[in-house]
């Protein structure tokens, strides 16, 4: 059966986006005309998902819920049920996903980090689903520059084809000397409900937090996780410079005002 639910962890406090996030939740920071979390929900809707579980912190819960519910459903999200789950304490990304366990139940689910938004033409969830062989799958990109300390890195057992790999480990922010490959986890995942058992039993890892990557490591070690290498089509919106770049990239792609914006940029000195 196709995947009907997405978990979107969005409980971070957005310290890299101060002062904007002093009173506005990070997930409601706007790119062009909508908050970043709406892009994440829309991406899942394009893949046929009908239920979004947003994991948020207590301070942000009411504002985020209001965004999705005030004046009725948002255009394009009429078939999406949006549920809010509160992560009471900041114990890490893995802990945030575990918080969604009851809402997800015994279903396979997508997971997408709101800090990276996908361009409207991308189809990462569909690619994960077709590459997963009914198990779990994570989206990967070939690294460039200094990324070994910033991301989770995949260990590769076997290349299955040009874009598909069988994984045998995953390590959170290992540093260059300990990185098992040059493929990093970009924040798009497809999990079976068994990932919750791993999340519930792993010890705190990198930074003293319950790491999603450590649960992926457990899946990979038992041969249950594939990696799908995706094109470089995700836009980071978690810090000011990248947010500006993402706004520009999406602005240039806009059917409505892309041409005007291109002209404006060309005229800047
Ligand atoms: C998280 C994950 C990491 C992943 C990254 C992608 O890290 O823990 O494995 O590579 O997202 O953006 P964070 O950005 O929360 O430090």
Q: Quick one: which of 155, 159, 148 has its CA closest to 169? A: 155
Q: What is the dihedral of CA 184, 29, 199, 211, to 10 degrees?
A: 50
Q: How many CA atoms lie within 13 A of 167 on its CB side?
A: 37
| Distance of CA 151 from the midpoint of ligand 1 (Å) | 5
pTM for the full predicted model: 0.96
Among protein residues, the one whose CA lies closest to atom 7 of ligand 1: 151
Q: Which H or E run includes 170?
A: strand 164-172
Residue 1, pLDDT > 80, answer no
* pLDDT of res. 163: 95
To the nearest whole number, what is the mean pLDDT of the chain? 94
**What is the average pLDDT across 64-72?**
91
| Distance of CA 187 from the midpoint of ligand 1 (Å) | 6
Of residues 1 and 63, the one with the higher pLDDT is 63
Bridge partners (DSSP) of residue 54 are 8, 84
Task: Report the range of poorest mean pLDDT among 89-93, 94-98, 108-112.
Answer: 89-93
* pLDDT of res. 224: 94
Domains of the chain by range and CATH? Answer: 5-266 (3.90.550.10)
* C-alpha to C-alpha distance for 157 and 153, rounded to whole angstroms: 13
pLDDT band at residue 144, thresholds of 50, 70 and 90?
Answer: confident
What phi and psi values does residue 146 have, to the nearest 5 degrees? Answer: -95, 80
Q: Which H or E run includes 127?
A: helix 124-131
For 154-199, the pLDDT digits (tens) are: 999 999 999 999 999 999 999 999 999 999 999 999 999 999 999 9
Does ligand 1 have an atom closer than 6 angstroms to the CB of 155? no
Q: Which H or E run includes 152?
A: strand 152-159
């Amino acid at each position: 059966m196709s995947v009907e639910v997405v978990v979107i962890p969005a409980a971070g406090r957005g310290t890299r986006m101060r002062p904007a996030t002093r009173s506005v939740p990070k997930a409601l920071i706007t790119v062009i005309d909508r908050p970043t979390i709406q892009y994440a929900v829309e991406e899942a809707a394009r893949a046929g998902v009908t239920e979004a579980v947003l994991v948020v912190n207590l301070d942000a819960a009411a504002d985020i819920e209001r965004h999705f519910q005030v004046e009725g459903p948002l255009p394009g999200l009429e078939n999406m049920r949006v549920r809010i789950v509160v992560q009471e304490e900041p114990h890490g990304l893995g802990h945030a996903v575990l918080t969604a366990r009851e809402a997800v139940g015994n279903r396979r689910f997508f997971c997408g980090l709101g800090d990276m938004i996908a361009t409207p033409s991308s189809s990462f969830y569909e690619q994960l689903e077709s590459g997963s062989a009914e198990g779990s799958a994570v989206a990967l990109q070939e690294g460039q520059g200094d990324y070994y300390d910033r991301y989770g890195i995949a260990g590769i057992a076997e290349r299955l084809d040009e874009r598909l790999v069988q994984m045998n480990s995953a390590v959170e922010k290992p540093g260059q000397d300990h990185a098992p490959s040059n493929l990093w986890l970009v924040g798009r995942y497809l999990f079976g409900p068994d990932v919750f058992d791993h999340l519930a039993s792993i010890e705190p890892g990198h930074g003293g937090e319950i790491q999603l990557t450590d649960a992926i490591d457990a899946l990979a070690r038992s041969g249950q996780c594939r990696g799908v290498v995706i094109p470089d089509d995700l836009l980071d919106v978690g810090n000011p410079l990248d947010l500006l770049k993402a706004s520009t990239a999406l602005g240039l792609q806009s059917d409505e005002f892309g041409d005007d914006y291109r002209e404006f940029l060309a005229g800047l000195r």
